[in-house]
């Protein structure tokens, strides 16, 4: 009888362990994936934010199973340091200038950001969209427009929020975020030659509590269903930028 109790207890423990292994993954992802990732896997747990902030949290031991970054530098650094498995390509994105739907400043061109007195909001230089924004301005010869910056945000959603609320005349965001907030914002296109290469990567975090489910999530995100959802949101899978019409 004692042996039987021990066997049953061991079986119960194995059952608990099996349940834990099959638990839904915890996904740390760039804020610009907020609308798409829950559609790819509604059961997963998500933490969205600036890729730089999420990288820091993973380095500090945050309980992430998967990490999706809006810039490959963060996933590649974690890979070199042995903190994630080899990253894989997820999608490409582009930037747009966003203005409130009422467009009180009358902005018609990206070159208008250089006007005196214009209130511009951008992300800080540590978050990918902030780095990409500065690349756009440099490519357009508009770096002097940084004098019009009234706020530097920690992620793209904060930029979108401030512009939508009319706290700035314009801001720079991803095309996908501008599309998600189309009822509140207008987008002003950026010339093809000025667009940076916005490449997203995704990786399984080493030592993840749910490695099996983490790898399954990566497969879903990079597979046919994931690509369909991402494409509907405006993400692309070719580095080539479509010609302006």
Decide if 9 is inside a domain. no
Instruction: Specify whether 37 is located in the same domain as 83.
Output: yes
Least confident of 53-62, 154-163, 189-198, 232-241: 232-241
Pairing of strands 170-174, 120-123: parallel
Which range marks the domain in which residue 227 is found? 24-92+198-233
What is the number of domains present in the chain? 2
Residue 121 backbone dihedrals phi, psi, to 5 degrees: -120, 135
What is the C-alpha separation between 159 and 206, in angstroms, rounded?
Answer: 32
Residue given tokens 């990566």 in the structure block: 218
Instruction: Specify whether 144 is located in the same domain as 108.
Output: yes
68-124 pLDDT, tens digit each: 999 999 999 999 999 999 999 999 999 999 999 999 999 999 999 999 999 999 999
Q: Which residue has the higher pLDDT, 240 or 193?
A: 193
Instruction: Specify whether 170 is located in the same domain as 104.
Output: yes
Is residue 207 within 8 A of residue 84, CB to CB? The reply is: no
Task: Give the pLDDT confidence score for residue 240 in this predicted structure.
Answer: 61
Shortest CA distance to 72 belongs to which of 84, 60, 61? Answer: 84
Decide if 4 is inside a domain. no
Residue 7 has pLDDT above 90, yes or no: no
22-52 pLDDT, tens digit each: 589 999 999 999 999 999 999 999 999 999 9
Residue 190 has pLDDT above 70, yes or no: yes
Adjacent-strand bridge partners of 97: 172, 188
What is the C-alpha separation between 101 and 10, in angstroms, rounded?
Answer: 62
61-72 pLDDT, tens digit each: 999 999 999 999
Instruction: Specify whether 164 is located in the same domain as 209.
Output: no
Task: Give the pLDDT confidence score for residue 23 in this predicted structure.
Answer: 84
State the Rg of the chain over Cα.
21
Instruction: Specify whether 127 is located in the same domain as 175.
Output: yes
Task: Give the pLDDT confidence score for residue 131 in this predicted structure.
Answer: 98
Instruction: Specify whether 51 is located in the same domain as 140.
Output: no
Assigned token pair, 50: 């600036």
What is the C-alpha separation between 90 and 233, in angstroms, rounded?
Answer: 14
- Residue 146, domain CATH: 3.40.190.10
What burial letters (b/e) apply to 209-225, b meaning 16+ CB within 10 Å? ebbebbbbbbebbbeee
Decide if 105 is inside a domain. yes
Instruction: Specify whether 60 is located in the same domain as 108.
Output: no
Least confident of 2-6, 114-118, 213-217: 2-6
Instruction: Specify whether 187 is located in the same domain as 109.
Output: yes
> What's the whole-number average pLDDT of the chain?
91
């Amino acid at each position: 009888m004692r042996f039987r109790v021990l066997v049953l207890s061991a079986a119960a423990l194995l059952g608990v362990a099996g349940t834990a292994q099959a638990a839904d993954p915890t996904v740390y992802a760039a804020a610009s994936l907020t609308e798409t990732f829950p559609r790819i896997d509604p059961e997963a747990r998500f933490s969205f934010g600036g890729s730089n902030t999420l990288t820091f949290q993973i380095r500090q031991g945050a309980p992430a199973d998967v990490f999706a970054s809006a810039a490959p530098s963060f996933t590649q650094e974690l890979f070199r340091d042995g903190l994630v498995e080899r990253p894989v390509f997820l999608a490409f994105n582009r930037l747009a200038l966003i203005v409130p739907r009422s467009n009180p400043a009358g902005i018609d061109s990206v070159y208008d950001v250089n006007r005196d007195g214009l209130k511009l909001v951008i992300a800080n230089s540590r978050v990918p969209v902030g780095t990409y924004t500065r690349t756009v301005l440099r490519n357009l010869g508009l770096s002097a427009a940084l004098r019009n910056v009234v706020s530097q945000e920690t992620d793209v959603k904060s930029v979108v929020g401030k512009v939508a609320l009319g706290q700035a005349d314009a801001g720079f965001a991803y095309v996908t975020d501008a599309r998600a907030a189309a009822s509140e914002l207008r987008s002003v296109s950026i010339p093809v030659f000025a667009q940076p290469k916005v490449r997203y990567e995704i990786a399984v975090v080493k030592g993840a509590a749910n490695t099996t489910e983490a790898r399954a999530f990566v497969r879903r995100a990079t597979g046919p269903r994931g690509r369909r959802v991402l494409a509907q949101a405006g993400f692309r899978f070719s580095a080539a930028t479509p010609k302006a019409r």
